[in-house]
Chain A
Amino acid sequence: MTGPINPFDKPNSYIGRSVERADAKRLTQGRGQYVDDLQLPRMVHAAFVRSPFAHAEILSIDKQVAEKAPGVVAVFAGADLTDHVTPYVGILTHLQGLRSPPQMPLAIDRARWQGEPVAMVVAQSRALAEDACDLIEIDYKPIDAACDVESALAPDAVVIHDEYQNNLAWERVVDAGDVDGAFARADVTVVERTFTFARHTGVTLETRASVVEFNPSDETLIWHYSGQAPHMMQAIVAKHLGMQEENVRIIARDVGGSFGIKIHTYGDEFATAAAAKILGRPVKFVADRNESFSTDIHARDHRVTGRIGVDKDGSIVGLEIDDLTGIGPYSMYPRSSGIECNQILNLTGAPYAIDNYRARGTIVFQNKNMMCQYRAVGHPVAMAVADGLLEGAAHEIGMDVVDIRRKNLLRDDVYPTSSAAGMKFDDLSHQKALEKLVELMDYNGLRRDQKEARENGIYRGIGFVSMVEVTNPSPMFYGVGGASISAQDGASVRLDATGALHVSVSITEQGQGTNTIIAQIAAGIFGVDLDRVKVTTGDTATTPYGGGTWASRGAGIGGEAVLLASNALKEQVLDVAAVILQASPETLDIKDGAIVDLADENERMPLSDLGKIVYYRGNELPSDLAPELIATRHYRVTDFPFVFTNGAMAAHVEVDIETGFVKVLDFWAVEDCGRVINPKLVDEQIRGGVVQGIGGALYEECLYSDDGQLLNASMADYLVPMAAEMPDIQVAHIETPTKTSVLGAKGAGEAGTGGAPAAVMNAVNDALRPMQASIYQMPMTPQRVLKALGTV
């Protein structure tokens, strides 16, 4: 490597600086390019007829009238697509025993959730397509539905799939040490709680959207896609539409929020792609908000019974959890619906030193919309269970909730280490993060205020969470289970004739600021001004192969690929410069867009001169010199399955005990995501995540009737956090770079969502303590709080 050993400390490094996002300029001027903005010649529009029943036989579908309706181009039922799309199965082999039957884009013979697409109309406009949907006659025979998770495995439960004996999808047990022995000790206090987490959904402000165009002359398909994983989509589209992968191009431009929602195989989208291929013309499908609520993947919906044992000093001697969850009628393809439960088993109690740990997870099929991975997969459940139990135990033995964490959190000098569930940890800072948090929030001052407020009949509470977050996953997440999901990312960095850098990278931008941090890394490592870097993401035709952006992997993995490629290009450029300048490459450096002497930074030649010589006047170069002004590097995490981050958060709430309303007064988050590339963007990720977590704690819930009808599929009825109720959120950092990469960046995007529910729940319980009331059901709605108080 040339240049200084640590490129991040150079005065002209952009790493660690809060530079503005170039994308923000576009987006504030209405110049975004979202999928629905696209209008292509001969484009037609898809609309879907969806099952009104949670479970029903489809006896007949009569398309005739609809086919003749104004503007209708084609009508498809499930059977019409069987020759065009091969079935898909959402299992991963490393989740041993997970089962799920094959799925098709449109239901055939039987519909298994309310909202499942049954028929599709393609017409000249969306309005005309919807008109024709009303003209399709479908004869259903409703069947009893198995909706309730608790009774889905009962002997008399309706079995959703005839090929199985019951509705069990997967079971897993973790058993480490001797939990029973630990709990049986005389000096041990065991605290048990049952936690309930409602179904949520992502509510991306831009709903799922696709425009698919197919060119029959050369058998190429372009899918304009609002999502996070272009290469994954390319692989599965090719596989299931029977195409060669190189003939499928996925383009994701601006994405109006994703949060894990837009990274799966949706029947309506695959039907749209099939229709484009069959019709040989572009087809657009944009989910409306109702479709979004009833068919975007849902998440959470866990019931966890947990027990924790602590000794007299507050040391955790054992932890046991039993998680039951329902995932809808199928496991989602290709990531499966087993990951959330799996994460809960892997992560519960992970911040603490626990030798004896037992966890059981049970996943059942049910006649509700499908569940899959939404932001902070499993984390809010795992953290709320462990920290809810821990704070419960602290009060049981009369110990302060901070002190019990000090006692049990993994010490900052134990790494590398492993948890009882087998998670490998390195470069974490739980103790430091907790101390920083306590100082930041003025814990003692808050406790004094709390006491005073209680005397005046005002009930405030302080709640904590110490957490880990799975980031930068290795192939052990999906690839090992057989999915075409890449854990590595690639970056190409090219110098043009004017001295500008062109970076193309396989991670994607959904607003986090990916394009900006990539430019910062490339500019800083290579040595040009930030405004001379152009970044391309989200196009399988123009970016190297890679995983995309999910599991908080963009900066850590994609960023490292860019760093490696930028360093490689720098070496290549210096080799060329050395020849031109008749110097040794080791004596040269690149700074502010020019070749300089390493020793005194005197400018020797602007990069634009070097570019011009290489590209236009190659005759001036020795004939044995083969200049390469482009470098590509790939990076994956080795040695560790995941690179964990850690954080400590606290919520300060006020509970109106008369109404059950909870107001979050303050929130603090201390996060260690390793090297911070752009503090402002990281802080914004954490704040936005915290607010989504507060949503989970207080507001968000997909409400279903007993027979599987989603009752609140509108933005007026499914409540997400709004500006007026949210607090300002203070964010601080500990920076412990991961040793797995040069860049040292870990992920940060999901921490807030993973941690906030636990902190808010603990704070509410702290506020309710004088009334001997407690609540372990989220969202903590006014009615639930009033019930906890025994008021209603």
Chain B
Amino acid sequence: MKVADFHYERPDSLAKALVLLSRDDADVQALAGGQSLMPMMNFRLAQPDTLVDLNALEELRGIREAANHIEIGAMTRYAMLEASDLVRKHIPLFSIALPHIAHSAIRNRGTIGGSAALADPAAEMPALLIALNATITAVSTSGERKIAAKDFFLGLYETALDEGELIKSISVPKALIENRFGFYELTRRHGDYAMAGVAIAAQHMAPLTGLRIVFFGVSDRPLDVTAIAETLEGQSATDTDIVEAACRAIGNQSLHGDLNADAATKTHLAQVVLRRALRGMNA
């Protein structure tokens, strides 16, 4: 199919983009990397009246180091994250996870802000951001505000962004030397969306403390299971009884099935990825 007609704007400043996006008399849609929006438009599942292309906004691109965090512009592409020394050094979980996200040609265009704003529950990035305790800076003509990643993803393709609001940047705390990270996903084919996946951040490994465990591909949003984190808090990740107790805690969550796996299978696979991610952290 071909895209339904739309009005195209490519503002050269964030201020102009925000004015365009603040219009409430028409369906205005921001275009970031386009790796999800363009397929939906090509299938005519999305038919915005106006498309505001953010790709000329250099001010939204880039990876900057601050004292305690890394500030990533919303229009920073996955490939730039992959290539970044700052990311490698300070956000090791990104470096583990990025090669699993789609395919090279998609990562060359797809942006971190676009992924966050789309809030696809099967995607890796929302889960990574919650696990890393990232903060999302949203901006609109009324100004900026900061939203913790854990409060940002509200449901299937649903975020805390208001109408006319854009993601400006995402700030990710720098990993400390004692922090440990885990990531595991089950995809039927390399680069596919996961049947189940998990991202884990721990302040300490032995014993486990300050855990954030976030699943993706198993619900209508990234699933931050505090019950698991609590079960594991202060324990050893090599203690199989404890790990099994943590796995049982997933069973109390209500997971969502999809075309290829029902809720029971999702629950089982979530347990498997948790076990394997923890095992990976032990290694």
Q: Do chains A and B touch in the complex (CB under 8 A)?
A: yes
Residues of chain A whose beta carbon lies under 8 Å from any beta carbon of chain B = 125-127, 130-131, 134, 288, 290, 658-659, 661, 699, 703, 711-712, 714, 716-717, 719, 721-722, 724-725, 781-783, 786, 791-792
Q: Are A661 and B188 in contact (CB-based, < 8 A)? A: yes
Q: Are A290 and B1 in contact (CB-based, < 8 A)? A: yes
Partner of A290, one of B3, B43, B192: B43
Q: Are A782 and B188 in contact (CB-based, < 8 A)? A: yes
CB-CB nearest in chain A for B43: A290
How many of chain B's residues touch chain A, expressed as a range?
Answer: 20 to 34
CB-CB nearest in chain A for B273: A659
Within 8 A of A (CB), among B139-184: none
Classify the secondary structure of B's interface with A.
loop
Residues of A with C-beta under 8 A to B3: 127
The smallest C-beta distance from B257 to any residue of chain A, in angstroms, reads 9
Compute how far the CA of A288 lies from the CA of B265 in the bound complex, rounded to whole angstroms: 33
CB-CB nearest in chain A for B5: A131
Q: Are A725 and B189 in contact (CB-based, < 8 A)? A: yes
Q: Are A791 and B268 in contact (CB-based, < 8 A)? A: yes
Question: Contacts A290-B43, A717-B259 known; A782 to B195 CB distance under 8 Å?
Answer: yes
Besides A725-B189, A782-B186, A782-B260, 11 other CB < 8 A contacts? A130-B2, A134-B4, A659-B272, A711-B259, A716-B192, A716-B193, A781-B188, A783-B261, A783-B265, A786-B268, A792-B264
Q: Are A719 and B268 in contact (CB-based, < 8 A)? A: no
Compute how far the CA of A791 lies from the CA of B1 in the bound complex, rounded to whole angstroms: 42
Compute how far the CA of A290 lies from the CA of B190 in the bound complex, rounded to whole angstroms: 23
The smallest C-beta distance from B35 to any residue of chain A, in angstroms, reads 12
Residues of A with C-beta under 8 A to B57: none
Q: Is B88 an interface residue (CB 8 A)?
A: no
Partner of B4, one of A131, A711, A716, A722: A131
CB-CB nearest in chain B for A658: B272
The smallest C-beta distance from B271 to any residue of chain A, in angstroms, reads 9
Q: Are A783 and B262 in contact (CB-based, < 8 A)? A: yes
Q: Is B269 an interface residue (CB 8 A)?
A: yes
Partner of B260, one of A126, A288, A783, A791: A783
Question: Contacts A661-B188, A699-B188, A724-B190 known; A792 to B268 CB distance under 8 Å?
Answer: yes
Compute how far the CA of A134 lies from the CA of B4 in the bound complex, rounded to whole angstroms: 10
Compute how far the CA of A749 lies from the CA of B13 in the bound complex, rounded to whole angstroms: 57
Compute how far the CA of A182 lies from the CA of B191 in the bound complex, rounded to whole angstroms: 52
Compute how far the CA of A131 lies from the CA of B2 in the bound complex, rounded to whole angstroms: 9
Residues of A with C-beta under 8 A to B23: none
Q: Are A127 and B2 in contact (CB-based, < 8 A)? A: yes
Residues of B with C-beta under 8 A to A714: 43
Compute how far the CA of A724 lies from the CA of B269 in the bound complex, rounded to whole angstroms: 21
Compute how far the CA of A659 lies from the CA of B276 in the bound complex, rounded to whole angstroms: 11
Q: Are B261 and A782 in contact (CB-based, < 8 A)? A: yes
Question: Contacts A782-B265, A792-B264, A792-B268 known; A719 to B188 CB distance under 8 Å?
Answer: yes
CB-CB nearest in chain A for B195: A782
Residues of A with C-beta under 8 A to B260: 781-783
Residues of A with C-beta under 8 A to B186: 659, 661, 782
Write 16 A-B pairs (CB below 8 A) sorted by A numbering.
A125-B2, A659-B269, A661-B186, A716-B193, A719-B188, A721-B189, A722-B190, A722-B191, A724-B189, A725-B188, A725-B189, A782-B186, A782-B260, A783-B261, A783-B265, A791-B268
Classify the secondary structure of A's interface with B.
loop
Residues of B with C-beta under 8 A to A134: 4, 44
Compute how far the CA of A781 lies from the CA of B186 in the bound complex, rounded to whole angstroms: 13
Residues of A with C-beta under 8 A to B268: 786, 791-792
The smallest C-beta distance from A69 to any residue of chain B, in angstroms, reads 12
Compute how far the CA of A781 lies from the CA of B195 in the bound complex, rounded to whole angstroms: 11
Q: Are A130 and B1 in contact (CB-based, < 8 A)? A: yes
Residues of A with C-beta under 8 A to B4: 130-131, 134
Compute how far the CA of A531 lies from the CA of B183 in the bound complex, rounded to whole angstroms: 56
Within 8 A of A (CB), among B229-283: 259-262, 264-265, 268-269, 272
Residues of A with C-beta under 8 A to B193: 716
Q: Are B190 and A725 in contact (CB-based, < 8 A)? A: yes
CB-CB nearest in chain B for A781: B260
Residues of B with C-beta under 8 A to A661: 186, 188
List 4 A-B pairs, minimum CB-CB distance, nearest first.
A724-B190, A127-B2, A783-B265, A792-B264
Compute how far the CA of A717 lies from the CA of B188 in the bound complex, rounded to whole angstroms: 11
Residues of B with C-beta under 8 A to A126: 2
Q: Are A703 and B2 in contact (CB-based, < 8 A)? A: no
Compute how far the CA of A130 lies from the CA of B43 in the bound complex, rounded to whole angstroms: 11
The smallest C-beta distance from A55 to any residue of chain B, in angstroms, reads 22
Q: Are A722 and B259 in contact (CB-based, < 8 A)? A: no
Residues of B with C-beta under 8 A to A791: 268
Compute how far the CA of A104 lies from the CA of B5 in the bound complex, rounded to whole angstroms: 33
The smallest C-beta distance from B14 to any residue of chain A, in angstroms, reads 31
Compute how far the CA of A290 lies from the CA of B42 in the bound complex, rounded to whole angstroms: 11
Residues of A with C-beta under 8 A to B265: 782-783, 786, 792
Compute how far the CA of A442 lies from the CA of B261 in the bound complex, rounded to whole angstroms: 37
Compute how far the CA of A721 lies from the CA of B190 in the bound complex, rounded to whole angstroms: 10
Residues of B with C-beta under 8 A to A725: 188-190
Q: Are A722 and B189 in contact (CB-based, < 8 A)? A: yes
**Residue from A711, A722, A792 whose CB has the most chain B CB atoms within 10 Å:** A792
Compute how far the CA of A700 lies from the CA of B251 in the bound complex, rounded to whole angstroms: 30
Residues of A with C-beta under 8 A to B269: 659, 782
Compute how far the CA of A717 lies from the CA of B189 in the bound complex, rounded to whole angstroms: 11
Compute how far the CA of A716 lies from the CA of B103 in the bound complex, rounded to whole angstroms: 13
The smallest C-beta distance from A521 to any residue of chain B, in angstroms, reads 39
The smallest C-beta distance from A458 to any residue of chain B, in angstroms, reads 15
Compute how far the CA of A33 lies from the CA of B237 in the bound complex, rounded to whole angstroms: 59
Residues of B with C-beta under 8 A to A782: 186, 188, 195, 260-261, 265, 269
The smallest C-beta distance from B243 to any residue of chain A, in angstroms, reads 13
The smallest C-beta distance from A135 to any residue of chain B, in angstroms, reads 12
Residues of B with C-beta under 8 A to A716: 192-193
Q: Are A703 and B264 in contact (CB-based, < 8 A)? A: no
The smallest C-beta distance from B27 to any residue of chain A, in angstroms, reads 16
Partner of A130, one of B44, B188, B259, B272: B44
The smallest C-beta distance from B104 to any residue of chain A, in angstroms, reads 12
Compute how far the CA of A658 lies from the CA of B264 in the bound complex, rounded to whole angstroms: 14
The smallest C-beta distance from A44 to any residue of chain B, in angstroms, reads 14
The smallest C-beta distance from B191 to any residue of chain A, in angstroms, reads 8
Residues of B with C-beta under 8 A to A781: 188, 260
Residues of A with C-beta under 8 A to B259: 703, 711-712, 717
The smallest C-beta distance from A220 to any residue of chain B, in angstroms, reads 31
